[in-house]
A and B are shown apart, each in its own frame.
Chain A
């Protein structure tokens, strides 16, 4: 079973309307390509994500917002900051690097 099967994934951006949606689309691509079925994949604004992050296994955000999520790792959440939010290649590489994807 893939490591991300059944996990809860969250994509955050400033407004929860633009880049987080792009991230969600790109994450979906990576999941489909690797045959992974996460339990949940959604997007939201950083303001909401800040408190919600602890309830997710993996949180994706643009690098600008990485600081906002400082400390979530102590709750066991993996933070994946991205340079290019719509790059499925970057997401795939980052997940591999984090040991979440073979």
Chain B
């Protein structure tokens, strides 16, 4: 079975940006562009994600500058299950969390969920990726789809 990173490359669900001066709201929108391109999500799907982060704070930004913007399962405008992957050369500022800790991200894994089983599989693979610091560093340095596959080959996840 293809790994989520292989699927990202196969379906062209990736984007590489400079990120300089880009707000987190704009970054979230940009991260859905590859999903919009093949009809995985609607053009305004990103608005729901932004509303959710505005309501609950930047809890979708995890350790190691990884962001996993998402909404609910079967959200309006989520037509296919997928992951919009985006690498930013510059950090995107998400403000501070409830403890005043600065939250910023340069890796985006933006989720769309229409099928619970596929979504579950994506989440469980992402958990392993997010715990794999070497892989995350290599992905942050990726500038081409080939770099993504190379990073995974070099730093495979357990399981």
Contacts and interface: CB of A to CB of B under 8 A. Distances in A.
Interface of A: 13-19, 21-22, 25-26, 45, 62-65, 84-87
Interface string B112-133: 0100000110011011001100
B70 interface: yes
Contacts of A85: 62
Interface in B51-71: 52, 55-57, 59-60, 62-63, 68, 70-71
B98 interface: yes
A21 B70 contact: no
A14 B131 contact: no
Contact of A64 (B68, B73, B97, B126): B97
Give the contact-size bracket for chain B.
20 to 34
Nearest to B120: A21
Contact of B123 (A25, A45, A65, A87): A25
Interface of B: 52, 55-57, 59-60, 62-63, 68, 70-73, 97-99, 111, 113, 119-120, 123-124, 126-127, 130-131
A28 B57 CA distance: 27
Contacts of A15: 52, 70-73
Nearest to B57: A64
Contacts of B123: 18, 21-22, 25
A26 B159 CA distance: 14
Given A17-B72, A65-B59, 18 more contacts: A14-B52, A14-B56, A14-B59, A15-B71, A17-B70, A18-B60, A18-B68, A18-B70, A19-B59, A19-B68, A21-B120, A26-B127, A45-B72, A62-B59, A63-B99, A64-B57, A64-B59, A85-B62
A86 B55 CA distance: 22
B111 A86 contact: no
A64 B70 CA distance: 16
A101 to B, nearest CB: 20
Contact of B131 (A17, A18, A86): A86
